[in-house]
A = this chain, B = another copy of it.
């Protein structure tokens, strides 16, 4: 039987068992199972890793439990700005959208950039325009709206006012030490600081790898901030020589450390295993810098790694035998 496998994440952060209700935990696990199964079903029928990655991510984008697609967080102006990227390990082709506002499934937006344009990355209105021209399903702001996300924005704006009253900052300016606090709680459905992003990496029966990532970004985001999710090499990378990777975490650290490609480079150039390379990047490089987060990765043999240096990471995986794992906390 040909080998294949799939792994997904739904964001990492301060996800604590004590602050999660049994009912909510059940909802998260059910949606993670549904997502990983959607990709698994495609792979088991001989479908491509790319199709599996897109299908799994769409399940998470369509759920308001996760900060991507429907239920994305709001930026400072009270709007949704979504980022996504996808990469094909066979061809090294890649696509990404940054700051999209109307594409129902941003991961599909990234995919049409890859498959239907000669470019890799489209941003802002242009990303929406291209997706519309390509016939993707578009939505009004009301579709993406989630009341809890809206309340999060109001809370953070209130906190920001308090912070500014006690600092010498100019209006709109937040000291870096405060910024993490102000931006971080992008998901108060559970509790604590979370980096809401979803992603998937898959190996298909033909031995091809693919990875994708999608996010609603940071609550109260300003200045058109772009994180690592739409950046090929940082948030997403796939190469049939080595592995496929999707990241979630404090995006700035993931960009500076070129995290997704670094896992591949450590495997290709230093001969590390997937387990060693992902551990090296998440625990030995990111963690000492304060770069909170995690990643999911899969190699050409179907080995899977899901390391994170935060309290928890929503994650699930499934191998060719249909054996699945769905986890939230450290174990």
Contact = CB atoms under 8 A, between A and B. Distances in A.
Interface of A: 87, 92-94, 98-99, 116-127, 129-130, 133, 170, 172-174, 176, 179-180, 183, 222-227, 231-234, 237, 251-252, 255-258, 261-262, 265-266, 269-270, 289
Nearest to A175: B118
B92 A256 contact: yes
Contact of A233 (B125, B261, B289): B261
21 contacts: A92-B289, A93-B256, A98-B98, A99-B124, A116-B173, A118-B176, A118-B183, A119-B179, A119-B223, A120-B251, A120-B256, A121-B227, A121-B255, A122-B225, A130-B222, A133-B173, A231-B231, A232-B258, A233-B233, A233-B261, A270-B270
Contacts of A261: 233, 258, 261-262, 265
A306 to B, nearest CB: 23
B126 A225 contact: yes
5 smallest CB-CB distances across A and B, nearest first, come from: A126-B224, A126-B223, A269-B269, A233-B258, A118-B179
Contacts of A172: 133
Contacts of A179: 117-119
A124 B124 contact: yes
Contact of A256 (B122, B232, B269, B289): B232
A217 to B, nearest CB: 11
Given A118-B176, A237-B258, 12 more contacts: A98-B226, A99-B123, A117-B176, A118-B180, A118-B252, A119-B225, A120-B252, A120-B255, A122-B224, A126-B222, A232-B258, A233-B261
Contact of A255 (B227, B232, B252): B232
Nearest to A270: B269
A133 B224 contact: no
A122 B265 contact: no
A270 B179 CA distance: 38
A116 B116 CA distance: 38
B262 A170 contact: no
